[in-house]
Amino acid sequence: MVEVLTHMGFEHPTPVQAQAIPLLLQQNPTDFIGLAQTGTGKTAAFGLPLIELIDEDSRATQALIMAPTRELGQQTAKQLVDFTKNNKKVNVAVVYGGAAITSQIKALKKPTQIVVATPGRLLDLIKRRAIDLTNVQYVVLDEADEMLNMGFKEDIDEILSHTREQRVTWLFSATMPPEIRRIVKKYMDNPLEVSVNTQQKSNVDITHQYVITKTSNKFTALRRFMDIQPDMRGIMFCRTKRETQQIADDLGNLGYGAEALHGDLSQAQRDAVMKRFKTRAMQLLVATDVAARGIDVNDLTHVFHHTLPDQLESYTHRSGRTGRAGKKGISLAFINPREDRKITELERRLKITFEKVDVPTLKELKASRIAHWADLILNTQVDEQANEVLYQLHGKFAHLSENELLKRLITTQLDHLLLQGDGADDLNEIQGAKAIGSTKTSTPGMARYFINIGTIDGLTIPDFVHFISDTAGIKRSAIGDITMQKTSTFFDVTTEDDRFEEKFKGLEIEGRSIRVNRDAEGRKRSSGKSSRSFGRSKNKGRNARNYQSKGRSRRR
């Protein structure tokens, strides 16, 4: 084992490994609780003792490791296989949903001492009598808090009922909510406990930051952070599957390396996305909390929060995707002016400090792009063919000075170096600012409009932009500041079309006529009686589908 670890590059144990491994080996058999953040080496903390303690000459399954997600299960099994490289007698199998159960049943027919499983698939195998747990001596609950968050409590109870009473249980978790304590009380007997950095519930290698910007500007703000740090690689967390897909699609359409990961994707699609992300074929993974559970990707520089989660544990798990294995990372939250209390609450309860940072301005972004372009030129290795091309151009630029030649070269690159249609120069807002509505003046060069639909209609900012763009036949870049409220929305538009308001006449949502007016007229009632549903039409299919999926539109 030592030879294998040396070959794998292990030099010193992490704190949780240094405390857990001696206890598990010397105090065997013992129930055990290990509290440590994600990315602190928990797999080796329980995996190495397990390999030492099982009877390698027995064909029976002696150890069961339960993981909340397929991805985490695969990663755990892979690491255990690496640990047993010098011991061909030990066999590790991993079983999970979304893959052919027949091949997993076939694998379990071989002598398998250690099984790594997700609860759902393990129950299927138990019901099919394809796995025998009566000889299991060690049960490991990995990421136990995540399994409870995902609703696996009843599955765990059912699975443990098929194991012997004399087994030992090792529980590893990043947090210790009351539900975990109930599991400890029910299934464990005087467990030993190791806690690493419990006085600081968040990884010290993570810098926590936040920016204050309007909800309507979050997408543009994200792009600026990606542009100003072209080498960044991270995950953005969103609340809903729909929002996740929309942001990923919009980034992809603009040429960014971004893809979505959420529950509506098939297992094959999720696997393909994760493979591209791990091989650095994309810069940003846009994911929901559930879909991203168990993801273990090295060298992530950033975690972005499009919206802060409601649960304290969710923030811990999100931010824990970066700052792993001693490397530094940044957790950056986008909040609107009225959400600063959420930052204060996270600081108080997690005992961390948030740093307020600004969204880069267009001026800063332009300077960054130019500097990056200049560095690219300086670091470019000269191709051998360049000499031949230079010879052919001999004398072509002789009449130009060095500065004149550089200016012409820069001019050819201006489209790439400068930014067009990227919103206002400064996207930052004042902390604690009150909600704004019809009293806000329009952006210079734009007209301010009112529309009588809002968040109560299931709208998101991307939905709204698509709807206005498709209905009015204008470019998305022509839509400026958006202030969305419960029953109404105010927005800026650059348009010289005198018929802009008329293009919305006749549309309705659930029998309510949509009306669009210049801001000064926003509160006047519409007397128009003719209407057409806010539903399918040749050029509005996407918006229609969005609304119909929420049951909010119909065709008269």
> Which pLDDT tens digit goes with each residue over 69-104?
888 898 899 999 999 998 889 999 999 987 889 999
Q: What DSSP element (H or E) covers 75? A: helix 70-83
Q: Which of 34-38, 86-90, 428-432, 468-472 has the lowest average pLDDT?
A: 428-432
Distance CA 465, CA 450 (A): 14
What are the structure tokens assigned to 169, written together? 């249980």
> Of residues 350 and 326, which shows the higher confidence score?
350
Domain assignment present for residue 463? The answer is yes
In a shared domain, residues 214 and 282 = yes
| Interval 356-375 mean pLDDT | 83
Instruction: Give residue 239's identity as a one-letter amino acid code.
Output: R
Average pLDDT rounded to a whole number, residues 458-487: 81
Helix and strand element counts for the chain (H, E): 21, 21
Last residue within a domain, chosen from 195, 229, 252: 195
Q: How far apart are CA 370 and CA 172, in angstroms?
A: 48
349 burial type by CB count under 10 A (0-12 exposed, 13-18 middle, 19+ buried) = exposed
How many CB atoms are closer than 10 A to CB 121? 19
| Domain range enclosing 341 | 206-362
Find the mean pLDDT for residues 508-515: 79
Average pLDDT over residues 298-325: 84
88's tokens: 């061909």
Number of domains in the chain: 4
My answer on whether 375 and 352 are in the same domain is no
pLDDT exceeds cutoff 80 at 184: yes
> Cα(206)–Cα(409) distance, rounded to whole angstroms?
41
Q: Identify whether residues 312 and 408 lie together within a single domain.
A: no
Q: Strand ranges (DSSP E) for 44-117?
A: 63-66, 92-95, 114-117
CA 523 to chain centre: 40
pLDDT above 60 for 59: yes
Tell me if residue 438 falls in helix, strand or coil: coil
CA distance 57 to 362: 66
User: How far, in Å, CA of 215 to CA of 509, rounded?
Assistant: 24
Q: Could you tell me the pLDDT band of residue 334, with boundaries at 50, 70 and 90?
A: very high
Contact 286, 259 (CB under 8 A): yes
Q: For residue 31, name the pLDDT band (cuts at 50, 70, 90).
A: very high
Distances (CA, A) of 479 to 147, 218, 315, 460: 43, 14, 33, 15
CATH code of residue 235: 3.40.50.300
- Kindly report the pTM of this predicted structure: 0.55
Contact 285, 226 (CB under 8 A): no
- Look-up of token digits 């958006």: 482
pLDDT tens per residue, range 414-460: 666 555 555 666 787 766 544 444 444 555 667 888 898 887 777 77
Under DSSP, the state recorded for 92 is E
Q: Is residue 435 part of a domain?
A: no
Q: What is the distance between the alpha carbons of residues 549 and 458, in angstroms, rounded to a whole number? A: 10
Per-residue burial over 157-168, b = 16 or more CB atoms within 10 Å of its CB, e = otherwise: eebbeebeeebb
Is the domain of 210 the same as that of 331? yes
Closest CA to 551 of 538, 534, 537: 534
Structural domain ending residue among the three candidates 195, 222, 240: 195
Specify the pLDDT at position 244: 93
Place of tokens 């490994």: 17
369 — pLDDT class (breaks 50, 70, 90):
confident
Calculate what percentage of the chain has a pLDDT beyond 90. Answer: 33
- Do residues 356 and 396 share a domain? no
Question: Does pLDDT of 158 surpass 50?
Answer: yes
pLDDT of 242 strictly over 50: yes
Cβ proximity of 240 and 303 under 8 Å: no
Q: Does one domain contain both 210 and 315?
A: yes
pLDDT band at 18 (very low <50, low <70, confident <90, very high): very high
Residue 500: band (very low, low, confident or very high) from pLDDT cuts 50, 70, 90 = confident
pLDDT tops 50 at residue 118: yes
- 93 Cβ partners below 8 Å, 6+ apart? 77, 104, 107, 108, 110, 112, 114, 115, 116
At 121-134, the pLDDT tens digits run: 999 999 999 999 99
Higher pLDDT, 543 or 188: 188
In a domain, 110, yes or no: yes
Tell me the CATH number at 482: 3.30.70.330
**Which uninterrupted H or E stretch holds 338?**
none
Last residue of a domain, one of 173, 195, 217: 195
Q: Give pLDDT, residue 471.
A: 87
Does the residue 442 lie in any domain? Answer: no
Whether 25 and 142 map to the same domain: the answer is yes
User: Which of 18-27, 167-176, 540-549 comes out lowest in average pLDDT?
Assistant: 540-549
Written as six digits, the tokens of 515 are: 């009306």
Residues 115, 94: Cα–Cα separation, whole Å: 6
Checking if the pLDDT of 169 tops 90, the result is yes
Q: What angle do CA 339, 340, 343 make, to 5 degrees?
A: 105
Does the pLDDT value for residue 331 go beyond 80?
Answer: yes
Q: How much is the pLDDT for 536?
A: 35
The arithmetic mean of pLDDT across residues 368-381, rounded, is: 83
Please give the pLDDT value at position 96: 92
In the predicted structure, residue 201 carries a pLDDT above the cut 60 = no
User: Considering the domain boundaries, does residue 281 fall inside one?
Assistant: yes
d(CA 435, CA 337): 8
Amino acid code (one letter) for 351 = K
Residue 424 is assigned to a structural domain of this protein: no
Residue 467 included in any domain: yes
Identify the band that residue 48 occupies on the pLDDT scale cut at 50, 70 and 90. very high
Residue 291 sits in the same domain as residue 378? no
* pLDDT value of residue 278: 86
| Lowest model confidence (mean pLDDT) among 68-77, 225-234, 531-540 | 531-540
* Domain identity same for 35 and 85: yes
What pLDDT score was predicted for residue 444?
61
Q: Do 162 and 236 share a structural domain?
A: no
Mean pLDDT of 233-262: 91
Q: Are residues 295 and 381 in the same domain?
A: no
How far is Cα 267 from Cα 214, in angstroms, rounded to an integer? 35
Mean pLDDT across the chain, nearest whole number?
Answer: 82
Indicate if 256 and 147 belong to the same structural domain.
Answer: no
Q: DSSP E strands: which ranges in 473-552?
A: 479-484, 489-493, 507-509, 512-513, 516-518, 532-533
CA atoms within 13 A on the CB side of 421: 9
Name the strands in the sheet holding 302-305, side by side, starting at the edge strand that comes first in the sequence.
Answer: 258-261, 284-288, 234-238, 302-305, 329-335, 206-212, 354-356
Residue at 322 is within a domain? yes
